[in-house]
Every structure is written in structure tokens, then in C-alpha cells.
Amino acid sequence: MSTQTLLTPFSLHDLSLRNRVVMAPMTRGRAGRERLANALMAKYYGQRSDAGLIISEATTISPQANGWNESPGIYTDEMAEAWQQVTTTVHQRGGTIFLQLWHCGRASHSAFHGGAPAVAASAIKIEGDAIHTPDGKLPYETPRALETSEVAAVVEDYRRAAERAKQAGFDGVEVHGANGYLIDTFLQSKTNQRTDAYGGSVENRYRFLREIVEAVCTVWPSHRVGVRLSPNGAFNDMGSPDYYQQFTYVAEQLNRLDLGYLHVMDGLAFGFHELGEAMTLADFRGRFSGPLIGNCGYSPESAEAAVATGQADLIAIGRPYISNPDLVERIRNGYPLAEPAEVSDWYSPSGESGYTDFPTYREASSR
């Protein structure tokens, strides 16, 4: 299939993207115990800077937000300075990069917090496999529900993180509202049993996300802010009976904020909650008038079909980018994709192995 539409330039408001391929945010666990971006990460993102847009791996907004071993943070000036080597490298190669703002919520563990419980919308535990912690693999725990009086401080953490993202040289930020992390647990009835202003109705469950986005937009112009949602996802024990009502409402409300884009995980590669028909890009295209990004399980062929038919403006591609640093060139020339990386290497703190040591097609062919 031709990929001529996927590789055409796109105007993301005031940003000129060289193509419509987005490098999806993927946690890789290479930031070390200090959670500082480093030269190896700069090399990794630089290798993939021919994407139209890079969305960074999820980056925590505060110590409370941590919940993944050796993932990066953006809550100190030192962290912001460390990220500058990444943004500089990407920009030197003509790329555009947004930072994804993350709070793990209940998908964390007391081992990350000196024995204090993780926080969430409500005190509901993830039912599922154990979690990898600094103390090894441990069972999930019941989180502590955030007090109403604490919510404003978390919103402020997002705002300060957005400031540091600007200090670090990013082109914009994405608010991670997907995959069962803190914001998603506020959005969904399965995980939000609050009786205050942040729970109950679809309107109240949206309030936390709205306040975060509005706070971030005091730092960045709204067209430099994106939001990611996962309406179909079962990851981190998610999925609510009223998902369609909730996510259509959220899309309609976000549309009022003149955002840079809406990033929807419409694919089912992370698992499907099977509580009804899967929501499609069409469900969001009719409710969100700004740029729409599709994600989760797309191949170059299905990505081309989605943009060529107007279902999405851009498509985020994740796992193929791990072993194909030259993904856009491979798509342009019809080169075959490299074999997927071993899962054991995805999050390994083993340096270049499984991270920056994948050859381009031209390099592999010349060996």
C-alpha cells in the first residue's frame, strides 16, 4: 500500500511536522535511580527524530507520582536541565518533541514512597499481576484515596512540571490521562467511588482532568498541549460500564479548550475491556474538532489507511520504533521492518542493549 499520505507534512497549529508519523510514548526505564535523562536517552530519541512528532516516555511530575523503576522525572530543576540534552539532540536533527506528564496513581507501590501507600481517586486495588518495585516484584496494594483538600496540590504539581518542561526545551506537553494511571482512575466509574466534587457524575469525574489541563495551559498556549485517553483499555485493571458516555463527554469538553491534539488509544493491543462496542476514531472525530492522533497496534499500512481516509490526522506508532530507529525511512522506501525487540529488553536498565543498538536498514544491509 502507498504511504504517501502518512509521509506528507502536517501543520500542528504553529508547528510544522515533517510527516504524520508520531513516535508513541514508551516507558523504557533507562533514567537510573536518580530519574535523570541522560546521554543514552538523547541518543535514543535522536536516532528516531525523523518522526513528525515524538511524544516522550511518561515522565513523573512529583515524587508521589513515581511507580516505575528508573523512569525519568520532571519535578526538579536538575531533571529539567538533564532533559535539555534530549531536546537539543532532537531539535538539531530537525525533530519536534513533546513531554508526556505522568502520575502513576494506584499503579504504584509503597516501596516507591518510603512505606506510604500510593494514592488514587478511590481506595480500590488493581486486581492482577504483581508490580516491579525497587524491592523486587511485589503484589499490588490498596491505594489511599486522595483527600479533596489534596487535589489542588497535585494539580499544581502538573503546572510546575509543565513549567520545567518548557525550561527543558520541549515543544509542548501531553497530559497522560490513559492506561489506568491517576487521571484515568478519576475519569472512570470503576475506579472512582468518590462522593465529593470529583466523583459521581460524568461531569464530576472529568473535573480533575479539566483542572489539570487548565493549569498546564497557564504555562503553555493551549495549542501546545495534548491529552491522551484510552477508552477501550483494560490495562491496569480498567474498564467501566459507562465508558462510552464518559469518554464522549470528555472529548466534547476538551474540544472547548482549543488543545493541540487529542491522542486516543483506539486500538486493542493493550487489551479490551469488552464492555460493549470498542470506541473508534469516528466516535472522537465527531466530538473533537482539533487534530486527532490514533494509537495502539498500527502498522504502516493501517496507519496510512487511517490518515488517507480522514479517520485521524496523525498515527502514533510504538513497539516498531523500538527495533526500527529509521522507521520513517523504512516506510518511505518500502523496506521491511526489523524483528521486534525481546520483551526482556524493553525496560531493562542494561544500557545500549535493546535500546540504542538496533541498526538502520542501510546499516544492516551493508554488513
Percentage of the residues of the chain whose pLDDT score is greater than 70 = 98
CB distance 41 to 31 below 8 Å: yes
pLDDT, mean of residues 249-254: 98
Per-residue confidence at 89, pLDDT binned at 50, 70, 90? very high
Cβ atoms < 10 Å from Cβ of 363: 11
Task: Say how far apart CA 129 and CA 133 lie, in whole Å.
Answer: 13
Q: Which residue is catalytic, options 45, 75, 158, 181? A: 181
Task: Say how far apart CA 13 and CA 258 lie, in whole Å.
Answer: 10
Q: Considering the domain boundaries, does residue 254 fall inside one?
A: yes
Task: Say how far apart CA 263 and CA 232 lie, in whole Å.
Answer: 13
- Alpha-carbon distance values, 43 to 14, 167, 174, 325 (Å): 27, 20, 22, 11
Q: What per-residue confidence (pLDDT) applies to 313? A: 98
Our answer to whether residue 355 is catalytic in this structure is no
Mean pLDDT of all residues in the chain? 95
- Residue 184, domain extent: 10-365
C-alpha cell, 157: 504539581
Q: Considering the domain boundaries, does residue 335 fall inside one?
A: yes
Pairing of strands 119-120, 144-145: parallel
- pTM over 0.95? The answer is yes
Phi and psi of 142, rounded to 5°?
-75, 125
Q: Considering the domain boundaries, does residue 4 fall inside one?
A: no
User: What is the distance of C-alpha 25 from the center of its chain?
Assistant: 5
- What kind and span of H or E run contains 327? helix 327-333
Per-residue confidence at 1, pLDDT binned at 50, 70, 90? very low
pLDDT, mean of residues 48-72: 98
pLDDT, mean of residues 145-158: 98
Cβ atoms < 10 Å from Cβ of 222: 16
pLDDT digit string, tens, across residues 174-195: 999 999 999 999 999 999 999 9
Per-residue confidence at 304, pLDDT binned at 50, 70, 90? very high
Residue 160 predicted with pLDDT over 90: yes
Q: Considering the domain boundaries, does residue 3 fall inside one?
A: no
pLDDT, mean of residues 234-243: 96
Residue 280, helix vs strand vs coil: coil
Cβ atoms < 10 Å from Cβ of 305: 18
pLDDT digit string, tens, across residues 111-132: 999 999 999 999 999 998 899 9
- Overall domain count for the chain: 1
Per-residue confidence at 270, pLDDT binned at 50, 70, 90? confident
Q: Considering the domain boundaries, does residue 1 fall inside one?
A: no
Residue 28 predicted with pLDDT over 60: yes
The CATH number of whichever domain residue 150 belongs to comes to: 3.20.20.70
Per-residue confidence at 271, pLDDT binned at 50, 70, 90? confident
